[in-house]
Amino acid sequence: MDRLVQTTQELLNFRLNAAQRHAFEVYARELLDWNAHTNLTAITDPADIEMRHFVDSLSCLSVINPRQGALRVIDVGTGAGFPGIPIKIACPAIDLVLVEATVKKVRFLEHIAEQLGLEHVSIIHARAESLGQIADHREQYDWVLARAVAALPILAEYLLPLCRIGGHCLPQKGETAHQEVIEAQHAINLLGGKVIQLTPVELPTVVDTRYLVDIEKVASTPPKYPRRPGMPSKRPLG
């Protein structure tokens, strides 16, 4: 994990301590172990796990300021825990909710949260569309995260209903980020969001530029959104 510690320091000016470094070692080991029987990730080279999963997840910290006290953070479609769990390892004070629709991934999340002794993490087996209509979750979160879940016009309908007014959504995107923002402009406005900025992230050993799309929640989401599960992807808001 030398590379992880060094890159996190250089890229994010964030120093991981020995316990955090150990947590990432356990995480990588368990991910690979479980991946032998449960399909969790296509990335299996240890150096790639460090860079493409761990550092890429931690790159959100170049926009989120974790020193703002106990932030409520939700990661939608977290899969094997990205970006939520690396951020929780680095910033233990956050309150983290992980949302995942696939039960076998939920089982892994429960396992890894226990192995790492993570506190103030709740793991929810649900679809984002359902959660967005539940009062305990609707417009409750300071930061709403998602990586590799859906195209932005669809993703906006998953994320913005969960975000409190004044909070932010921070989807992680690849080279298509600018184009997706243009295509999602109407959906983002309709749902109460406003694009603040796109922050490029250059990861060592990764050729493509990654982008953090910072969307502020400036107005309440109309009650009819999100529509029922499946509808946002079937009929994306044009």
Q: Which residues bind ligand SAH (CB under 6 A)?
A: 76-79, 82, 99-102, 105, 127-129, 147-149, 158
User: To the nearest whole angstrom, how small is the minimum distance from the Cβ of residue 93 to ligand SAH?
Assistant: 22
User: To the nearest whole angstrom, how small is the minimum distance from the Cβ of residue 116 to ligand SAH?
Assistant: 17
User: To the nearest whole angstrom, how small is the minimum distance from the Cβ of residue 82 to ligand SAH?
Assistant: 4
Residue given tokens 């493409």 in the structure block:
52
Q: In angstroms, what CA-CA distances link 200 with 101, 169, 178, 211?
A: 29, 16, 11, 4
The dihedrals phi and psi of 27, each to the nearest 5 degrees, come to -60, -50
Burial of 89 (0-12, 13-18, 19+ CB in 10 A): buried
User: To the nearest whole angstrom, how small is the minimum distance from the Cβ of residue 69 to ligand SAH?
Assistant: 25
User: To the nearest whole angstrom, how small is the minimum distance from the Cβ of residue 156 to ligand SAH?
Assistant: 12
Nearer to ligand SAH, 77 or 192 (CB): 77
Nearer to ligand SAH, 129 or 180 (CB): 129
Nearer to ligand SAH, 149 or 163 (CB): 149
Nearer to ligand SAH, 91 or 218 (CB): 91
Nearer to ligand SAH, 159 or 188 (CB): 159
